[in-house]
Chains A and B, each alone.
Chain A
Amino acid sequence: MTVATAAQAGLVSCEACGLLSRPAGGIELGHCPRCGSELAWRRHQSVQRTWALVIAAAICYIPANVLPVLTTTALGSTDSDTIMGGVVFLYTSGSWPLALAVLVASVMIPLGKLMALTYLLITVQRGVPGNDRDRTRLYRLVEVVGRWSMLDVFVDTFTVALVQLQPLMSVKPGPGVVFFAAVVVLTMLAAMSFDPRLIWDAGSTREGNHG
């Protein structure tokens, strides 16, 4: 059996239920006969959409890290903390495993996701062949770990919700929180709109030309 993709064989697999079907001729592929979802060879305008979401997330990443996420008022003095400030606080208070968890989830994962998606987009757009398997693996990693960046937003929410002992002590959310949450949502949407099959499409046409 020769290596063939569904698209090369004129078949399309449904993104919702996985059924393989042969679409009717014409520009419109119609809908999946089993679940009724709209069929498409590849996710609609995958590269453009992913680029737009990645750029939007990269813009939000800056205020997310520069602006404070928490403002603590205790006994008349006010203290503002950024994401990194929170990591340093956890580290100095002796819980370095949690400091490391927050550092990985809040700083390294969002940055890594942005870099990984940019790399995937550039290689797909230029039709760079090779490492297809590794790039698909990278995509799966981005999809799986993305949600963990929401960690700091949850930490801030429950800190704010609990520490409301006016006038003794109170914690307010800072303007950085919404940007940080936006980075997480935008990078998750970016990963969902990227179509990993595009990684393999460049290689298949090349193989076809050689053969």
Chain B
Amino acid sequence: MSAQAGPDSVETVACPHCDLLQAIPRLPPGGAARCARCASTIATRSTDPIDRPLAFTFAALFAFIVANTEPLMGLSAAGRHASTTIVNGAYEMWMQGQQITALIIAFCAVIAPGGYIIFLLTVLLAVRRPPAPRWVGELLRWAAFMQPWSMVEVMILGILVALIKIAELALVDPGIGMYAVGALVVLLTAIGITFDPDEIWRRIEWVDPRPSAGVARGTASPEARA
């Protein structure tokens, strides 16, 4: 395996926001490096890049299952009771003729967070023994694709606003699902803080095993070559 991007070496990266080339020394655990020109975060080093996010992801999977099976809130008015789950929200929108909205809701509230958690869980389990096979990188890319569309924290604020609006009309009570969504928000934030994609990429096998023979090749010290 190529040792070009070993954790002890100075690594050269280009800032994703302004393309400035910068050499990054080894960061202390928990450290982060900012771009000298545009101040974007260009590198982070997690204290514990595998086990901690893995623990949070397992907990998040559990919270996700509870959040999607238990009712979010119940409503009582004139002796009648009604309750709803997350999926039921999307289903009701579909039945009321808002199919596109229903699909967007289902994607942002269920599919994207669920996919993110499952892909991340698989990736973190697979990279425990590096080098991890290439399909792990594919899953990591899928997780990165899902992440911006996972809107659990927006949803919980939406549920709270809906509860307060409806409280004017009837008696509402938050359900177990609601607390599970709250826990999920906290856990997803914790994953975001502890997860370090750079560290994961270093543990995945390269698509072109021999960098010099491929279409493109990795360069750890571009200044030396230029």
The distance from the CB of B11 to the nearest CB of chain A, in whole angstroms, is 9
Q: How extensive is the interface on chain A, given as a class? A: 35 or more
Question: How far, in angstroms, from A16 to B88 measured CA to CA in the complex?
Answer: 35
User: A80 to B47, alpha carbons, bound, how many Å?
Assistant: 53
A122 at the interface (CB under 8 A from B): no
- 8 cross-chain pairs, A with B, having the tightest CB-CB distances, nearest first: A154-B158, A30-B215, A6-B14, A13-B14, A36-B207, A5-B19, A33-B208, A161-B84
Q: A153 an interface residue at 8 Å Cβ cutoff? A: yes
Q: Cβ of B84 and Cβ of A140 under 8 Å apart?
A: no
A-B contacts counted at CB < 8 A amount to 250
Q: Report whether B38 and A11 are in contact in the complex, using a CB–CB cutoff of 8 Å.
A: no
CB nearest to B159 among chain A residues: A158
Q: How many residues of B contact A (CB 8 A)?
A: 79
Which residues, 181 to 226 on B, are CB-close (under 8 Å) to A? 197-198, 201, 204, 206-208, 211, 214-219, 222-223, 225-226
Let me know if A158 and B162 touch, CB within 8 A.
yes
For chain B residues 17-73, which have a beta carbon within 8 Å of chain A?
A: 17-21, 37-40, 72-73
- B86-130 contact mask (Cβ, 8 Å, vs A): 1 or 0: 001111110011101100110011000000000000000000000
A18 in contact with B166 (CB, 8 Å): no
Q: Is the Cβ of A178 less than 8 Å from the Cβ of B206?
A: no
Q: In this assembly, does B3 line the interface, its C-beta being within 8 Å of a C-beta of chain A?
A: no
With a cutoff of 8 Å between Cβ atoms, the chain A residues found around residue B80 in the complex are 165, 168
Tell me whether A22 and B108 are in contact in the complex, defined as CB-CB below 8 angstroms, given that A33-B206, A90-B164, A165-B80 are known contacts: no
A residues near B217, Cβ cutoff 8 Å: 21-22, 33
29 contacts between A and B (CB under 8 A): A5-B14, A9-B21, A11-B14, A20-B219, A22-B216, A24-B216, A29-B216, A30-B214, A31-B216, A33-B208, A35-B204, A98-B161, A101-B157, A132-B37, A133-B37, A136-B18, A139-B17, A140-B17, A147-B151, A148-B154, A154-B159, A155-B165, A158-B73, A158-B89, A162-B83, A163-B82, A185-B104, A196-B17, A200-B20
Q: How far is the CA of A76 from the CA of B200 in the complex (A)?
A: 59
Specify the chain B residue showing the minimal Cβ separation from A175.
B98
Q: How far is the CA of A181 from the CA of B197 in the complex (A)?
A: 30
Looking at chain B's contact residues, the main secondary structure is mixed
CB distance from A148 to the nearest CB of B (A): 6
A4 interface residue per 8 A CB criterion: yes
CB distance from B157 to the nearest CB of A (A): 6
Q: How far is the CA of A188 from the CA of B199 in the complex (A)?
A: 27
CB distance from B49 to the nearest CB of A (A): 15
Q: Would you call A57 an interface residue if the criterion is a C-beta within 8 Å of the partner chain's C-beta atoms?
A: no
> Do the beta carbons of A10 and B165 come within 8 Å of each other?
no
- In the complex, A74 Cα to B78 Cα: how many Å? 13
B100's partner among A7, A98, A155, A181 (CB-CB below 8 A) is: A181
Q: Say how far B185's CB is from chain A's closest CB, in angstroms.
A: 13
